[in-house]
Structures are given as structure tokens and as C-alpha cells.
Structure 1
Amino acid sequence: MSLHGAYDPDNIFAKILRGEIPSVKVWEDDEVLAFMDVFPQSEGHVLVVSKTSKARTLLDMEPEVLTRLTAAVQRTARAVEKALKPEGFSLMQFNGEAGGQTVFHLHFHIVPRWADRAMKGHGHAPMADVEHLKALASRIVAELD
């Protein structure tokens, strides 16, 4: 998929937002959903998406929605850091297939990092145990401001 095109209302994140596919939610409000990545590149990998925008890429995102989404990413990253104590984290947002994007609903990845643990490749990590994801989400939720 290119950088430009029509939004697909049947993409996996749209289905998660409609409740058609389950997710392990970290937190949500009327505009944002933060949930655990089921194919985590690292322990505690969280995805943050807009619930109101149909933007496929950063180029499509409405500036006011991007402002709220970025604040949500920061809030979530702070909670991840407090809960899991990583030595660092990667914040990723991919645009277009050539840019590494696999789901065409704009989203941010918060990937905790430790020096002695290799990060799995984007789109190449094995599926995580749902109960483990729920336990991680609970730890992160406990640290939300």
C-alpha cells in the first residue's frame, strides 16, 4: 500500500475499535485507545490509536487529533517506563508499505528496550500469551497519571 489511498474500514484496528476483535486494553477515553501489541517486539509493547480519525498515515492526520494522540502517547510511555523500568524505549510510527506500515490506521508503537534483550523485528514477533499481556497491561494501568 502506498502513502495515499482510501481508508479501509475493515482494517484490524478499525475492527478492534468497533469491538469486533478483542484486544488487551491499557486505557481509553473518547478519543484514544492504548492496547497491548499481540505480536510484541519487546515485553510491554503498546499501540496507541485515535478512535476518531480515519487517517491512514501521518500525512492524513488532522492536526488537532495528532496533538491529542501525541499527548496520549507521552502519557502511556510514562506509565510504561514507571511500570516496567526499561533502560530506554523506541517510539515508532510507520507510513506506507515501503516505510514498514502493516496496518493502515495511523498508530504509534511504544516499545520498551533493555540493553541485554534483543528487540524482535516489526511484523516478525511471535504471538504473545494473552494472560501475560493482561498482566503487563495491569502493571502499566497502575502507573497512569
Structure 2
Amino acid sequence: MSSLPQEALHMLGEALVNNIPFNRHIGLTYQTVSEEECVITFDMKPELVGNYIQGILHGGVISSAMDMVGGTMAAVGILHSNPATHLEELQKKIAKLSTIDLRVDFLRPGRGKQFIARAELLRAGKRVAVVRTELRNEEGVQIAVATGSFMVG
């Protein structure tokens, strides 16, 4: 793989994670985007509880975090097809980025104080990217895994 422009990678993280109001509402924070992975984090807070008796993370929040980290990683596929893409052109392509399919496997209850979502690009085509994601808590306990297909072209 060729080395992708750091400015473009940073812009992806900012645009797709930090600038979307819903992501800010649930507390998603962009950490890193590279050719190898995308990482976002978020803290547990009362509004994110899905099972109030057990005090565990809502499945919709888990799915949303995995969709966002996967979509951001899929956007890296846009850069792979044309590493010299100008930021303005990249922003236009990102505006068309959408989730085709997201399959989430919930492995354990969402217990923890902080959650880390990671994604890796499995395949980047001209129109579709396939991404593998996982969610762990601050102790490294794997809570969920997912595979997503995203429209990138």
C-alpha cells in the first residue's frame, strides 16, 4: 500500500466522527485514522444505558459506534483508489458514503467505564468497501464484533 496523506486521514476522522451531532451526543471521540486502522472511544454515561437493571450499554449505541468507526475506515478506501485526491474532492465523496449492511455480533454485556471501537479495512473496491470492527472496554474485554459493507463510490 502506498502512504496516504496524513492531512486527508485526519480530515476523515474529524469530518466523520467529531463533526456529526449524533456522534457528539453519544460521546464518540475520534482518536486515530491510519491505513491500518481507525479508532474511536467513548465513555459510559447514564444516557447510554440499555438495561437499567444491569446498567449495561445499549445495543443501539454499540451498533452506532461500530457503524461510525467502520464507515470512517471505509472512507480510507476512497483514498486508496486515488491517494492524490484533493481534500475538496474527498469531501464530496465522503458526502455520498453510506452503510449498505452492518452485521453486529454482541458477545458480552456492555460493561465498562470507557469503550474503544477499532476498524480495519478488509477490501476497498471502486464502489464498495468491506470493514471488520470490534468494540472493547477499557480492560480489553471484547464486547462486540461486526462486519460492514459501505458504499464508497
Q: What is the TM-score when the length of structure 2 is the normalising length?
A: 0.32
Q: What is the TM-score when the length of structure 1 is the normalising length?
A: 0.33
Q: With CA pairs under 8 Å and 6+ residues apart, which has the higher RCO, 1 or 2?
A: 1
Q: Which has the higher helix share?
A: 2
Q: Which protein shows a greater Rg? A: 2
